[in-house]
Amino acid sequence: MFTTPGEIYEHSFRVHSNLTALREDTREFTYKEIWTWSDATIDQLRDLGIGNDDVVGIFAGNRAEWAVVDSAIARMGAVRTPANYMSAIDTVVYQLNYAGAKVVVTDFDLGTALLEQLGENHGITIIQLSDPQGRRIPGSIAHVDPPGPEVDGRDTVHHRDPNSRSSINFTGGTTGKPKAVSHSARSAAAALYIQMIEAEIGVGERMLVMSPLAHAGGALMQAGIARGANIRILDSFDAHRTVELLMHDDITWTFMVPTMIYRVLDVIDELPEIPKLALRTVLYGAAPMSPTRLEHGLKVFGQVFIQLFGQTEAPQFCTRLSKLDHDLDRPELLTSCGNPSLFTEVRVTDDHGNTLPPGELGEISVLTPFALTEYIGNPEATAEKFWGDWVRTGDMGTMDEQGYVYLKDRRNDMIISGGFNVYSREVEDVLSKHPQVSQAAVIGIPHDDWGEAVHAVVVLREPEAGTSSETLTEDELIDFCRNKLAGYARPKTVEFVPELPVTPFGKIDKKVLRATHWEGMARAIG
């Protein structure tokens, strides 16, 4: 078995060389073309002094070069550190400096902003990807052009220790500065295998990838490259374009976070009839999906959904809720994040790492071959992350006797009101069942008597065309929860907003929601 990503990529390049690998709006590349371009990129990086264990950053929009540069870094034994184009520039600078990046591969717009923030004497070599308008970042080096069709791909001589560092990824930073997560080549290879299997990616799969390639979208694109898929890359998500591609490009597989699925469903609802699609897999994750909207999705798309649950420290597939488990005749399963994925064990633990029996609430912990090695430069956080070899996820939940996991809340998101524990997801699920509610986020806000009060931040659905609807009021929504939640768990206040803030990774940013309520208070904002 191949034990490094570089070996996996080269096998795919060789076996699938004549197949189409990547498609954009105006460009298309075969696996052979990606292979030879990756070879040329290796040569360019080596000419710049990059060798084994040197760190190369990738900070660019969604484009084919991600796969080229990513595979080159893996094949030559360097270390990748991806930066999300949706992140704040000062966050990207922090990540590149903390990771010790010697080179960053970027595009004109992002690279220009990055250079301004880096300032003089930053010591990082900038490789700029091609720009349609011919613009150039001052002092940058142009990324090597793709070789011609007469050039053949070559094998890289692998002297890569599978236990050596392969990537440095950063956490979302929702509780402070992002932590630098180190993964070995063996861990990264295991993640590729798991994703190919659990995400049901087949050879020639027509994948649509549109979320930032620095995060889950890129990891799933890597798995597609490893498998021999045909990958359509969008530079960003647009619900109408997505529906158009689903209808006219024979897309069979896509990944979306829940908010993206909601917007696609809203566009399809506007069509005169539900279109017939080639789509057979919709993978979703990053945030819980409203059971009501999930039922809606099943009626529109059919039984095509797979839910993933993971985190940067144990990426993508700690558990999965399979297509068969997305069953309207078993609605209780729609609130689960599934059971353990291949090669992974899951248990629920108490505050001392002891395994709890089925049905009892505790912290979800996982034992998996694609776990982090360490938080770089943070031994205290590393020690806190593990129970022995088991990774603590920081998510609170239960497991039933069949092994299905039910998430209740992030440990930092739990609300303590009047001495009672309130799990925000349970409240959000109830709120989302109201027909006028599109999205809901629940947080704790200061209260003189109870310590914290339950506060709901809600986005309302647009009324259907040709209908009139009275605006939902705070009292009406609270009353809707009356017989569905305990008194201490019901929202005490409701705030209606046009949209919810999200992190660069597609998760609702509760840190932002809490900030105005807890400013100047002693409580730390988790």
Strands 79-82 and 55-59: parallel
What does the pLDDT read at residue 287?
66
Condensed to tens digits (0 to 9), the pLDDT of residues 176-235 reads 678 999 999 999 999 999 999 999 999 999 999 999 999 899 999 999 999 999 999 999
pTM: 0.83
Domains and CATH numbers, the chain: 5-181 (3.40.50.980), 237-411 (3.40.50.12780), 414-518 (3.30.300.30)
DSSP β-bridge partners for residue 455: 443, 493
Quick one: how far is CA 320 from the chain centroid? Answer: 14
The highest-confidence range among 116-120, 406-410, 491-495, 521-525, by mean pLDDT, is 491-495
Condensed to tens digits (0 to 9), the pLDDT of residues 305-357 reads 999 999 899 998 999 999 999 998 988 888 899 999 999 999 999 989 999 99
| Cα–Cα distance measured from residue 299 to residue 276, given in angstroms and rounded to the nearest whole number | 13
Amino acid identity, residue 89?
Answer: I
Cα separation of the two ends of the chain: 42
Q: Given a cut of 50, is residue 523 above it in pLDDT?
A: no
- Least confident residue range of 154-163, 341-350, 378-387: 154-163
DSSP state of 502: B
- What is the overall mean pLDDT for the chain? 90
Q: 343: closest CA among 236, 124, 219, 196?
A: 196
Q: Of 495 and 88, which is predicted with more confidence?
A: 495
- Least confident residue range of 58-62, 154-158, 232-236, 370-374: 154-158
Condensed to tens digits (0 to 9), the pLDDT of residues 447-483 reads 876 778 899 999 998 876 554 567 899 999 999 998 8
Amino acid identity, residue 385?
Answer: K
Residue labelled with tokens 């930032």: 212
Q: Given a cut of 50, is residue 525 above it in pLDDT?
A: no
Query: What band does 274 get if pLDDT is binned at 50, 70 and 90?
Result: very high
Reduced to 3 states (helix: H, G, I; strand: E, B; else coil), residue 258 is helix
Task: Determine the average pLDDT of the residues in 60-86.
Answer: 96
